[in-house]
Amino acid sequence: MNIKEYVKDKLVFLLIHFILFVIISGIMLLISIDGRIIFLVFCIWFFPLLSYMMLEFIKWRSFYGELDSILDSLDKKYLLTEIVKEPDFIEGKVLYDILKQANKDMHEHVKIYRDLESEYREYIETWVHEIKTPIVSTRLIIENNQNDVTRNINYEVKKIEEYIEQVLYYSRSNNVSKDFIIKEVSLPALIRSVIKKNSRDFISKGISVDIEAVEGTVHSDAKWLEFILNQVIGNSTKYIVGSNGKVKIFTAKEGNNIVLTIEDNGIGIIDKDINRVFEKGFTGENGRRFGRSTGIGLYLCKKLAGQLGLGISLDSKAGEGTTVTIVFPLGGVNLIR
């Protein structure tokens, strides 16, 4: 608030006082009162009035200036009423009370949706655990009836399990910190585990895999990390077509980081899609061509990597392949050996 805005707001108030003074001055002139008396009345009338307005302006500007300053410095704007002091003038108090009530109602409204989200997440997690029972039964039937048909069914069941796992991780992705178990994780052992999970795809497509240059131990959550790597390596095998498919995985120490790189010689990604691959629900040209992309996998990888304190990036060229890099900060905690 500046003085110009304040005077504009008080213009009607000042105009009424000025008109009243003109009327009274006219009456005083009609009854032949000395002009010096009229000037004295003007001073007695307007000096206290203007002084009061000036003090009021200073008080208002101080309050609203502090309000703007605090609001600009806050990341969470809704905390404004928790920080700002209650003013000592009536208009400010009214505004303060309104903001307090609005903030309270907002928190109650948000709580309702948080409770609904929590209930939905609990339902999803319960559903995931319940659905595992018929899947286990299906696997037992397959093991007792081994033939080409059941082996194909087993492959499809594995895909169902992967999608179910994706649902579970998606439902927990906003509360990763509650599920953290940080410990030493051997990258070679973790990579071998993920390769084993995807072994059928490697074998059926004749894809060779090179993990000889993977080394190092980091501190992270093995379960969430395995999920990220499984999504990335699963994408590599999914988008390799034809013969001579190859996936190369290696690590390197760069400054205070361990950089894990996963390269493939698949179909690659067109330039206009590269900057959007980590967006939620984005499938791109490849997703439309192959019709097997949900647009959730890489989005989850980016989100979970961020919560684990890891960096993840993707580079690709259409027709040549894709490279995904995951950066593990050492910071005196993670160790490469």
Same domain, 87 and 193: no
160-172 burial: b if 16+ Cβ within 10 Å, else e: eebebebbbbbbb
At residue 74, the pLDDT reads 77
Q: What is the pLDDT of residues 230-248, one digit of tens each?
A: 999 988 988 888 788 999 9
- Last residue of some domain: 72, 106, 140? 106
- Last residue of some domain: 45, 78, 106? 106
3-state secondary structure of 85: coil
pLDDT at 25 over 80: yes
Q: What is the pLDDT of residues 102-138, one digit of tens each?
A: 888 888 888 898 888 888 888 888 888 888 888 889 9
In a domain, 84, yes or no: yes
At residue 210, the pLDDT reads 94
Residue 213 — pLDDT band, cuts 50, 70, 90?
very high
In a domain, 202, yes or no: yes
At residue 1, the pLDDT reads 62
Mean per-residue pLDDT, 180-197: 90
Same domain, 14 and 102: yes
- Give the chain's mean pLDDT: 85
Same domain, 213 and 316: yes
Describe the crossing of helices 222-238 and 187-197 by its angle, rounded to 10 degrees. 50
* Residue whose entry in the numeric block shows the structure tokens 């608030």: 1
At residue 97, the pLDDT reads 85
**Residue ranges making up the domain that contains 32:** 3-106
In a domain, 7, yes or no: yes
Mean per-residue pLDDT, 81-106: 81
Mean per-residue pLDDT, 204-210: 91
Residue 250 — pLDDT band, cuts 50, 70, 90?
very high
At residue 176, the pLDDT reads 64
Mean per-residue pLDDT, 73-102: 79
Mean per-residue pLDDT, 131-146: 88
In a domain, 170, yes or no: no
Q: Please name the residues in contact with 244: beta carbons below 8 A apart, sequence gap of 6 or more.
A: 206, 265
Within a 13 Å sphere around the CA of 279, how many CA atoms are in the beta-carbon half? Answer: 9
In a domain, 27, yes or no: yes
pLDDT at 291 over 60: no
Residue 331 — pLDDT band, cuts 50, 70, 90?
low
Same domain, 321 and 192: yes
pLDDT at 335 over 60: no
pLDDT at 267 over 80: yes
The total domain count for the chain is 2
At residue 293, the pLDDT reads 67
At residue 333, the pLDDT reads 45
pLDDT at 337 over 50: no
- 244 within 8 A of 209, measured Cβ to Cβ: no
Mean per-residue pLDDT, 54-70: 82
Q: Please name the residues in contact with 194: beta carbons below 8 A apart, sequence gap of 6 or more.
A: 226, 229, 230, 233
Mean per-residue pLDDT, 39-56: 88
- Rounded Cα distance between 242 and 248, Å, is 17
At residue 71, the pLDDT reads 78
pLDDT at 23 over 50: yes
Q: What is the CATH number of the domain that holds 198?
A: 3.30.565.10
- Last residue of some domain: 106, 138, 157? 106
